[in-house]
Chains A and B, each alone.
Chain A
């Protein structure tokens, strides 16, 4: 599974400045599990969660090869 970080999150990933990383999760894992594994210092409530270009909830199940975008929510320009 590929995780992509947007804007501020690129500065608070566990490894410091990262734009994306690959992650292996057990079968049946959800977006919430991925977030827990990442242990970001960012309020998950203030994140938009997008899997394969669709906005989803934390209980959304993940599949091998999915793209998860973690986006500090913004209202537009």
Chain B
């Protein structure tokens, strides 16, 4: 594996061996190391000194179930701190097949023309994007596939990334070539836009799989992991209901965001529940499919294809975070409406969580009524025009709240809170507050922990463990749901890594990687100017009781500040 370094100003490529200190890292952990080594923490995230880095996790490249994810990172224009966002789809596999441990994009472009970066086994080249620039994500992906064929992986940005909006993501093709697997959070699409790259093509034709030191050992460990994963009870829930199965759980705990996080229980829960979603898709037939894999080889298949009454696909996938932030959080109860809004934000290339939260804040300020899906769509379409209103929304909930003078703004470190109100699931609130990524649904949810989620004293250990494990999985390139298999068979992580690389790590490796990653990320943020004041939930969440539990977020500040003392 090599480090590929591309300077977008010079349009140069340098391929170098992996430096010693980076060799045992991948994915999120490697991003943190490189960012700390190479990016000035106080730099302008959209300027020449920030870097956009793609790094597959340590286990990527072998079609291990749910383990071919791609981590993308840089300094976030949304939070001002470190950012890793990972996605499924086909990019992780292709980049690993190309033998790339990290692709580092650096410098500032010399001109204004949009480019497509094409990476194949012979090297890298820039091609003018031509008329593909300016297109929405779906049309752009179609044109790119016409130009480069159907065997390549593609990472691309939409109008949101081109406008350098702070909620812009980077979209990747799923295994069916739909550009819907998104490095969504923290504005990495804006960083890609600042490099004037509309798309990156990864063409691994003619490349071999990454080498495996001990193929027999790898095969045995793969079998143990896959068996544990297939037998895990949660696998069946995600296969049948997807992440939407979480809606009823969150509602039961009084933690589903409703009308800009003003209530934790939704009167129309039935119509946005995972159970309803499944029934609807089974009844509609055609392209509707409640069980779908985002990447080849995933045995969980938590994704879905959401189709309308005519059986034509509206969006794929429709997930809990979007259902909660663009459904209940906006008072919208029809999943067809939520699916259409989801398609719009995907086409714009912006994060559905932050966009949903921004619309919730806008509704609180009177720009739309809760429940008005049509107006929500009109407001999102403003973003295509680049109008000040559209740009405000596209910059996310934090900026929208500042402009509109709203106090109830659900963000931490400038990033929108995902679909778990932290007053009713306080461990997740601890994660939102203290994780270097800002409020994030993949940084360490605690909903599965066997604790009283309302007890402020019981949350620090639970959150710490979840954060460490997640940082570990993100370093492996494992989907969070692959974690069921690894949790049931922890020795399989050790055996897979030892067989793949010829290492001799023990079963503590997941936590070692996780702890090291979090420390690096926190250090980057410290050098960027973050203090304990940034490790707090919004003040109103500590004061405003959430019906029906009447809970406020009351985990003590000293406890939050001690989370990293392990």
Contacts and interface: CB of A to CB of B under 8 A. Distances in A.
Interface of A: 4, 6-8, 10, 19, 42-43, 46, 48, 50, 53-57, 69, 71-77
A54 B252 contact: no
B516 interface: no
Contacts of A75: 234, 445, 447-448, 480-481, 483-484
B426 to A, nearest CB: 12
B233 A46 contact: yes
Contact of B454 (A10, A43, A54, A57): A54
Contacts of B274: 7
B445 A10 contact: no
Contact of B447 (A10, A42, A53, A76): A76
Contacts of B234: 46, 72-75
12 contacts: A7-B275, A10-B275, A50-B253, A53-B252, A54-B452, A55-B451, A56-B452, A72-B234, A74-B245, A74-B447, A75-B447, A76-B448
Given A8-B237, A53-B549, A69-B252, A76 B275 contact: no
Nearest to B270: A19
Interface residues of B, number: 39
B-side binding surface: helix, strand, loop or mixed?
A: helix
B320 interface: yes
A9 B553 CA distance: 32
Given A53-B254, A53-B548, A54-B454, A74 B238 contact: yes
B185 interface: no
Given A53-B252, A75-B480, A77-B441, A7 B245 contact: yes
A55 B453 contact: yes
B267 to A, nearest CB: 16
Contact of B237 (A43, A56, A69, A74): A74
B448 A6 contact: no
A23 B136 CA distance: 54
B477 to A, nearest CB: 18
B249 interface: yes
B240 interface: yes
Question: Counting chain B CB atoms within 10 Å of each CB, which of A6, A7, A43, A77 scores highest?
Answer: A77
B448 A73 contact: yes
A74 B246 contact: yes
Nearest to A54: B452
Contacts, number: 89
Given A57-B450, A76-B246, A76-B445, 17 more contacts: A6-B249, A7-B248, A8-B241, A43-B233, A46-B233, A48-B249, A50-B252, A72-B234, A73-B234, A74-B447, A75-B234, A75-B445, A75-B448, A75-B481, A76-B448, A77-B321, A77-B419
Contacts of B447: 74-76
A21 B481 CA distance: 31
A73 B449 CA distance: 9
Contacts of A19: 275
Contacts of A71: 248-249, 252
A55 B426 CA distance: 13
Nearest to B481: A75
B144 interface: no
A27 B452 CA distance: 24
A50 B483 CA distance: 24
A53 B421 CA distance: 14
A54 B319 CA distance: 25
A73 B232 CA distance: 11
Nearest to A72: B237
Q: Which 9 pairs, one residue from A and one from B, show the smallest C-beta to C-beta distance?
A: A77-B320, A77-B243, A76-B445, A46-B233, A75-B448, A77-B246, A69-B252, A7-B245, A7-B241
Question: Counting chain B CB atoms within 10 Å of each CB, which of A10, A54, A76 scores highest?
Answer: A76
Nearest to B548: A53
B319 A77 contact: yes
B244 interface: yes
B119 interface: no
B420 interface: yes
B448 A7 contact: no
A7 B274 CA distance: 7
A7 B248 CA distance: 8
B466 to A, nearest CB: 9
B236 interface: yes
A43 B441 CA distance: 27
A57 to B, nearest CB: 8
Given A55-B451, A75-B483, A8 B249 contact: no
A1 B59 CA distance: 48
Nearest to B236: A8
